[in-house]
């Protein structure tokens, strides 16, 4: 049994498989439907990355709101939680942005 790359999602699958175990694309189908599955999988991946960047942005805004609730910088537990959320959201947003840019290039 040899391993090949799935033409749609690019993950490693058996060359004996009739359909991909990851993205369920029918490998016995003609090139046209494999290509359309390829496009769908690319769109899904991009949508997932967009959702990630949205969640990261939300965490950033949420952390900021938590930190500055009431117009003042918080001094209690809200400070580390807010700063942590902001940092995680910021880094997460940057990482997903870079991943999106890399995805667009390939």
- 3: burial class by Cβ within 10 Å (0-12, 13-18, 19+)? exposed
Least distance in angstroms from the C-beta of 80 to Zn ion: 42
**Interacting span for Zn ion (CB under 5 A) from 1-9, 47-55, 70-78, 98-106:** 1-9
Return d(Cα 5, Cα 57) in angstroms, integer: 34
> How far from chain centre, in Å, is Cα 21?
20
How many angstroms separate the most distant Cα atoms in the chain? Answer: 64
66 binds Zn ion (CB under 5 A): no
| Look-up of token digits 């918080």 | 74
Residue 27 DSSP one-character state: T
Based on CB atoms, which residue is closest to Zn ion, 25 or 49?
25
Least distance in angstroms from the C-beta of 105 to Zn ion: 21
Q: How many residues bind Zn ion (CB under 5 A)?
A: 6
Site string for Zn ion, 11-40 (x = CB under 5 A): ---------x-xx-----------------
Chain residues binding Zn ion by CB under 5 A are 6, 8-9, 20, 22-23
């Amino acid at each position: 049994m040899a391993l090949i790359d799935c033409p749609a999602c690019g993950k490693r699958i058996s060359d004996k498989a009739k359909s991909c175990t990851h993205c369920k694309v029918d490998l016995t189908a003609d090139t046209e439907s494999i290509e359309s599955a390829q496009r769908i999988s690319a769109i899904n991946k991009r949508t997932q990355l967009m959702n990630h960047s949205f969640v990261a942005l939300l965490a950033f805004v949420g952390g900021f709101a938590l930190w500055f609730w009431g117009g003042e910088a918080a001094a209690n537990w809200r400070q580390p939680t807010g700063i942590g959320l902001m940092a995680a959201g910021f880094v997460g947003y940057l990482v997903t942005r870079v991943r999106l840019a890399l995805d667009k290039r390939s």
